[in-house]
């Protein structure tokens, strides 16, 4: 126990208690002797280590922490790890900007490499000025920087007071994660759930990597319709088609119209010649062609959009792709282009960007007279990589996929069933999951042509000509993991055989970052590493996360768990809402309205900020105005009030404390017992905001009414009257501190240290029986309210007379309904004391509620 300061303050509590908790291991997972039923496990979202923390993080992580603290106090052994998502593109980009480098896998490793910059803000180093370095050097820098970033994140989380067990941390690029990630992949391959395929793939030309459906977003883009003339080979004239992508004309493989379209009925099965390139292509029918779009007949190119891919596949068309991985037109013209004019034009197009190619083709079409009418500007949605800034192209490449139910009705049904089985908080978030699962259009593409990630653990044999035999990948044994196929060897091969005919070659691609993040329950829980731990924590009790990553993180985690074990990875999913700025816009870095969390915590104190976060329900967006952080100020006030009320309460002589006998004392405790029950129920239902509201509201009643009513008796009273008040006050304080502990952990711990044993955060969550034992089963819970009503009347009369609340009252007559008269009278002494009433008469009368009928104030000396 520590001494109560003269002037209790919030300042410094974060540092004071943060280090105590660390030393005492307050939040350590108590694994010894644990059974699954004792454990509450949390599948914490690993923040992107190279990103910056924003207010939204503080918001949602606080939600989770209140639950963790509640469960811990209820006696659960809480498994609350923290992970860092450090692999992937965000880290690569940050490393490029921070050190002024970029990865060039063709370069050799340089021992003791010193990067050209250190700590640049990133904006100043242009891509052209970045120093190319080897993949291994690049990855070393990624490792170095993420470790630094993680340290800063951890400091912030500690300041915020997250009750994480820091001994359970993991990194998504760490050796254990690498192994688990590759192991899960191998199992997927063995069960036929992971496979490779050569297929048209959505491709980001800036990052030169394939991307998955989950990483797409639509953006409205300006575009234009061009009307092109295709020439009927039967000489019966031209067919007009509208296209927004004339630059892909050289890749045209067919025209398509709806089978029911009367305008084109007699043309199905005939052919036309393309403008400029003079390639003969068929006119086909397909139900996806829309009669009311453009001229009702479209050109199919390899590949302008995903509909082209469907047509190409279903109509069994040839591939005449003309775009390369860099988004430029390739140098080799499709064989189908045979005319001299066509080949000449294509030679001019070669090497051009999509943008320049379009200009050139349009000019050529205008010159040849095959562009009809005006070019009509439109805007339309175009698919982008969510982190990219150029439209995605579609290129045909070999990639690894994991099944996700898009092409497997049975799997999809199982995934949907798991979605129904999971307890969502709030429940309606399930719909987002269902929308996503039902809308999946293809299996999950997990290959990324990047550097800092988990290597796909396969090699390919090389045939006698030195070409990889992709159909016969060589897999490592589970014991070999983790492996890096570009430096490790497949069994039975030697390093000399790398890259030579008859030898082997390692896969260079890495996995999608979600392919690792989808295994967070496995990574944190020690899957295939620490089976005893895994059995204790899996399936996890709780998955907290933001609503924006339901389709990525939540879905992919559920999928991997279903594939590996046929099981839901968690019992509950808690989905936090957005933080909105005062204009109701989602806060984001690009909009420049982000405040740094560290600054917020510094300025207002962690408890205050936590209060703000915790006062919002799961699934509900919260407005936040940095200029006027109302909720934070209220939280700060609450924390300060608790310190002061505790100091006051503990200042009364407690030598006679033991039993509670006064009706008003018993009433207050009975009311608080009810608050315990309601708040506990709210917490059990993942409604932390309700628990806070109930507690906070009664706490203010406690301070403003009860404490005022009894302070005279507690201070100057004698015998059992005094002892009753002090006993009730102390019991209530203990309960309030524990009820508020999940929300304002620093102030509550400070207060607890003045009278309690150990940490409040491992103290027992209050139970109503503690208080009913003191108050008695027959306590009158409504009495406090009733007396409070009389108190308001007396205060109001003084205020109306513009008199101080301290003004003595010579006579007050309080009227109450008959049934309330006796109840009110039981607190008459307290009421008279707080009102400084010399003569207090309580009468029964025909009134609706307690009414102050007469009040005579002592006249101040003139």
Given the rule CB under 7 A, which of 98-106, 313-321, 344-352, 619-627 is the region that contacts RNA? 619-627
Footprint of RNA on 201-230 (CB under 7 A): 213, 216, 218, 223, 225
Q: How far is the CB of 178 from RNA (least distance, A)?
A: 29
User: Least Å distance between CB 704 and RNA?
Assistant: 3
- Residue 256 or 489 having the CB closest to RNA: 256
**Residue nearer to RNA on the CB measure, 261 or 721:** 261
> Does residue 796 belong to the site contacting RNA (CB under 7 A)?
yes
Q: In what order do the strands lie in the sheet with 393-402?
A: 209-210, 194-204, 393-402, 444-445
Please answer whether residues 533 and 31 qualify as being in contact, where contact means their C-beta atoms are separated by less than 8 angstroms.
yes
Nearer of residues 137 and 518 to RNA, judged by Cβ: 518
Of the candidates 704, 785, 839, 858, which one interacts with RNA according to CB under 7 A?
Answer: 704
* Alpha-carbon gap, residue 731 to 277, rounded angstroms: 89
Q: Single out the residue of 634, 773, 828, 829 in contact with RNA (rule: CB under 7 A).
A: 634
Piece in contact with RNA (CB under 7 A), picked from 72-80, 154-162, 579-587, 762-770: 579-587
Q: Is 585 annotated as a binding residue?
A: no
From the CB of 95, what's the least distance to RNA, in Å? 28
- Binding residue for RNA, selected from 792, 838, 845, 853, defined by CB under 7 A: 792
Decide: helix, strand or coil at residue 316: coil
Q: In the complex with RNA, which residue's Cβ is closer, 19 or 805?
A: 805
Q: For residue 636, which of 10, 5, 6, 4 has the smallest C-alpha distance?
A: 10
If one asks whether residue 377 binds RNA (CB under 7 A), the answer comes out as no
Distance (Å) of CA 340 to CA 277, 336, 344, 347, 564? 9, 12, 6, 11, 57
Q: Which of 142, 145, 252, 289 binds RNA (CB under 7 A)?
A: 289
Q: Does 74 bind RNA (CB under 7 A)?
A: no
Minimum CB distance to RNA, residue 30 (Å)? 34
397 binds RNA (CB under 7 A): no
Residue 859, interface with RNA (CB under 7 A)?
no
294: contact with RNA by CB under 7 A: yes
Q: What sign has the CA pseudo-torsion 136, 137, 138, 141?
A: positive
Least distance from RNA to the Cβ atom of residue 820, Å: 13
CB of 805 to RNA, least distance (A): 4
For residues 44 and 48, what is the distance between their CA atoms, to the nearest angstrom?
12
703 binds RNA (CB under 7 A): yes
Instruction: List binders of RNA among 327-356 (CB under 7 A).
Output: none
Tokens of 367: 């010159």
Task: Decide: is 283 part of the binding site for RNA (CB under 7 A).
Answer: no
Q: In whole angstroms, give the CA distance from residue 562 to residue 415.
A: 8
Query: What's the CA gap between 495 and 486, in Å, rounded?
Result: 10
Out of 143, 238, 326, 693, name the contact with RNA by CB under 7 A: 693
Distance of closest approach, residue 231 Cβ to RNA, in angstroms = 17
Q: Does 647 bind RNA (CB under 7 A)?
A: yes
**CB distance 177 to 186 below 8 Å:** no
Q: How far apart, in whole angstroms, are the C-alpha atoms of residue 815 and residue 853?
A: 6
| Contact flag: residue 798 with RNA (CB under 7 A) | yes
Q: Which is nearer to RNA, 568 or 608 (CB)?
A: 608
CB 571 within 8 A of CB 542: yes
- Residues touching RNA: how many (CB under 7 A)? 90
User: C-beta of 444: minimal distance to RNA in Å?
Assistant: 13
Burial degree of 271 (CB within 10 A; 0-12, 13-18, 19+)? middle
Site for RNA (CB under 7 A): which residue of 231, 711, 738, 761? 711
The residues, any chain, with a CB within 8 Å of residue 363's CB and separated by 6 or more, are none
Beta strands in 262-392 (DSSP E): 271-273, 280-285, 297-301, 371-385
Residues numbered 305-324 forming contacts with RNA, rule: CB under 7 A: 305-307
Percentages helix, strand, coil for the chain (3-state, rounded to 5) are: 45, 20, 35
Q: With binding defined as CB under 7 A, does residue 603 bind RNA?
A: no
Among 57, 617, 688, 738, binds RNA (CB under 7 A): 617
Number of continuous H segments (helices) and E segments (strands) in the chain = 26, 29
Give the nearer residue to RNA in terms of CB position, either 1 or 800: 800
Binding mask 419-448 for RNA (x = CB under 7 A): ---------x--xx--xx-xxxx-------
Longest CA–CA span in the chain (Å) reads: 117
Facing residues of 223 across strands? 378
Choosing from 124, 637, 653, 853, the residue that interacts with RNA (CB under 7 A) is 637
| Contact status, residue 239 vs residue 283, Cβ threshold 8 Å | yes
635 binds RNA (CB under 7 A): no
Closer Cβ to RNA, 358 or 432, answer by number: 432
State the minimum distance, in angstroms, from the CB of residue 495 to RNA.
45
Q: Is 665 in the site for RNA (CB under 7 A)?
A: no
CA distance 470 to 474: 9
Instruction: State which of residues 1, 592, 806, 819 lies at the interface with RNA (CB under 7 A).
Output: 806
User: How far is the C-alpha of 143 from the C-alpha of 140, rounded, in Å?
Assistant: 5
Q: What is the DSSP letter of 552?
A: I
CB nearer to RNA: give 483 or 692.
692
Per CB under 7 A, the list member of 135, 320, 498, 636 interacting with RNA is 636
- Site membership for RNA, residue 548 (CB under 7 A): yes
**According to CB under 7 A, which one of 123, 126, 377, 584 is a site residue for RNA?**
584
* Whole-angstrom Cα Rg for the chain: 35
Q: Which of 2, 5, 9, 838 binds RNA (CB under 7 A)?
A: 9
**Buried b / exposed e across 678-710, counting CB within 10 Å, b at 16+?**
bbbebbeebbbbbbbbbbbebbebbbebbbbbb
> Which of 5, 381, 531, 782 touches RNA by CB under 7 A?
381
- Interface with RNA in residues 476-535 (CB under 7 A): none
Spatial distance between the Cα atoms of 57 and 45, rounded to a whole number of angstroms:
10
Q: Which residues pair with residue 842 across a beta bridge?
A: 814
Cβ distance 73 to 761 under 8 Å? yes
Q: How many CB atoms lie under 10 A from the CB of residue 340? A: 9
Which of 320, 383, 610, 823 touches RNA (CB under 7 A)? 383
Is residue 232 at the binding interface for RNA, with CB under 7 A as the rule? no
> Segment 117-176, which members bind RNA (CB under 7 A)?
none
CB 149 within 8 A of CB 135: no
Q: How far is the CB of 349 from RNA (least distance, A)?
A: 19
Residue 795 makes contact with RNA by CB under 7 A: yes
Residue with tokens 């709030």: 426
Q: CB nearer to RNA: give 674 or 841.
A: 674
Residues in the annotated binding site:
589
Residues in the annotated binding site for ATP:
589
């Amino acid at each position: 126990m520590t001494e109560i300061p003269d002037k209790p303050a919030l300042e410094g509590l974060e540092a004071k208690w943060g280090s105590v908790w660390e030393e005492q291991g307050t939040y350590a997972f108590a694994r010894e002797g644990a059974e699954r039923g004792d454990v509450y496990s949390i599948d914490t979202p690993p923040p992107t280590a190279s990103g910056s923390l924003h207010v939204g993080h503080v918001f949602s992580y606080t939600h989770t922490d209140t639950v963790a603290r509640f469960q811990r106090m209820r006696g659960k052994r809480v498994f609350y790890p923290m992970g860092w998502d450090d692999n992937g593109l965000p880290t690569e980009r940050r490393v490029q900007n921070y050190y002024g480098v970029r990865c060039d896998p063709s370069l050799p490793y340089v021992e003791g490499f010193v990067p050209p910059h250190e700590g640049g803000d990133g904006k100043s180093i242009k891509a052209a000025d970045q120093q190319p370095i080897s993949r291994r050097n690049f990855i070393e820098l990624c490792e170095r920087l993420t470790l630094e970033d993680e340290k800063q994140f951890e400091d912030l989380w500690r300041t915020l007071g997250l009750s994480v067990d820091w001994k359970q941390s993991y990194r998504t690029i760490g050796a254990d994660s690498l192994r688990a990630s590759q192991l899960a992949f191998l199992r997927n391959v063995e069960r036929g759930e992971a496979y490779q395929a050569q297929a048209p793939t959505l491709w980001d030309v800036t990052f030169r990597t394939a991307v998955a459906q989950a990483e797409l977003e639509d953006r409205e883009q300006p575009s234009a319709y061009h009307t092109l003339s295709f020439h009927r080979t039967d000489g019966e004239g031209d067919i007009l088609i509208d296209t927004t992508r004339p630059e892909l004309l050289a890749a045209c493989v067919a025209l398509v119209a709806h089978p029911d379209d009367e305008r084109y009925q007699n043309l199905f099965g005939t052919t036309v010649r393309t403008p400029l390139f003079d390639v003969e292509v068929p006119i086909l029918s397909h139900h996806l062609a829309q009669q009311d779009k453009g001229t009702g007949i479209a050109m199919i190119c390899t590949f302008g959009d995903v509909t082209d891919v469907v047509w190409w596949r279903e109509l069994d068309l040839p591939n005449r792709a003309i775009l390369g991985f860099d988004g430029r037109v390739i140098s080799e013209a499709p064989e189908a282009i045979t005319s001299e004019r066509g080949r000449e034009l294509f030679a001019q197009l070669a090497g051009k960007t999509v943008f320049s190619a379009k200009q050139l083709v349009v000019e050529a079409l205008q010159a040849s007279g095959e562009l009809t009418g005006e070019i009509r500007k439109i805007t339309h949605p175009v698919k982008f990589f969510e982190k990219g800034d150029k439209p995605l192209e579609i290129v045909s490449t070999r990639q690894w996929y994991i099944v996700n139910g898009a092409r497997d009705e049975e799997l999809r049904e199982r995934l949907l069933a798991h979605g129904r089985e999971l307890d969502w908080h709030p429940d309606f978030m399930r719909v987002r999951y269902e929308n996503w699962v039902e809308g999946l259009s293809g299996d999950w593409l997990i290959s990324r042509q990047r550097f800092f990630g988990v290597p796909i653990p396969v090699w390919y044999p090389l045939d006698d000509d030195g070409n990889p035999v992709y159909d016969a990948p060589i897999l490592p044994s589970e014991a070999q993991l983790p492996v890096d196929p570009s430096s490790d060897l497949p069994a039975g091969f030697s390093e000399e055989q790398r890259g030579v005919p008859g030898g082997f070659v390692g896969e260079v691609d890495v996995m999608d970052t979600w392919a690792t993040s989808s295994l967070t329950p496995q990574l944190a829980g020690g899957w295939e590493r620490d089976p005893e731990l895994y059995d204790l924590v899996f399936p996890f009790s709780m998955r907290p996360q933001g609503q924006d990553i339901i389709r990525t993180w939540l879905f992919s985690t559920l999928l991997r768990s279903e594939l590996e074990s046929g099981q839901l990875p968690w019992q509950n999913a808690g989905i936090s809402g957005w933080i909105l700025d005062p204009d109701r816009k989602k806060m984001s870095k690009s909009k420049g309205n982000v405040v740094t969390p560290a600054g917020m915590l510094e300025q207002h104190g962690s408890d205050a900020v936590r209060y703000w976060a915790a006062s919002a329900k799961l699934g509900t967006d919260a407005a936040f105005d940095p200029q006027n952080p109302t909720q934070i100020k209220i939280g700060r006030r609450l924390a300060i009030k608790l310190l002061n009320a505790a100091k006051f309460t503990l200042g009364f002589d407690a030598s006679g404390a033991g039993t509670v006998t006064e009706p008003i004392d018993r009433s207050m405790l009975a009311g608080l017992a009810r608050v315990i029950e309601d708040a506990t129920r709210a917490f059990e239902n993942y409604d932390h905001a309700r628990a806070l509201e109930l507690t906070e509201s009664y706490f203010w009643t406690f301070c403003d009414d009860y404490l005022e009513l009894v302070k005279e008796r507690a201070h100057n009273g004698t015998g059992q009257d005094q002892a009753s008040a002090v006993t009730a006050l102390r019991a209530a304080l203990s309960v309030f501190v524990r009820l508020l502990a999940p929300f304002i952990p620093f102030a509550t711990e400070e207060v607890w240290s003045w009278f309690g044993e150990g940490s409040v955060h491992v103290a027992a969550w209050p139970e109503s029986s503690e208080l009913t034992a003191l108050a008695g089963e027959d306590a009158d819970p409504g009495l406090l309210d009733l007396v409070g009503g009389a108190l308001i009347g007396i205060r109001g009369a003084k205020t109306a007379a513009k008199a101080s609340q301290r003004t003595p009252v010579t006579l007050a007559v309080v009227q109450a309904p008959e049934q309330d008269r006796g109840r009110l009278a039981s607190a008459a002494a307290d009421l008279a004391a707080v009102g400084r009433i010399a003569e207090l008469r309580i009468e029964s009368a025909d009134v609706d509620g307690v009414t102050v009928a007469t009040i005579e104030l002592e006249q101040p000396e003139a």
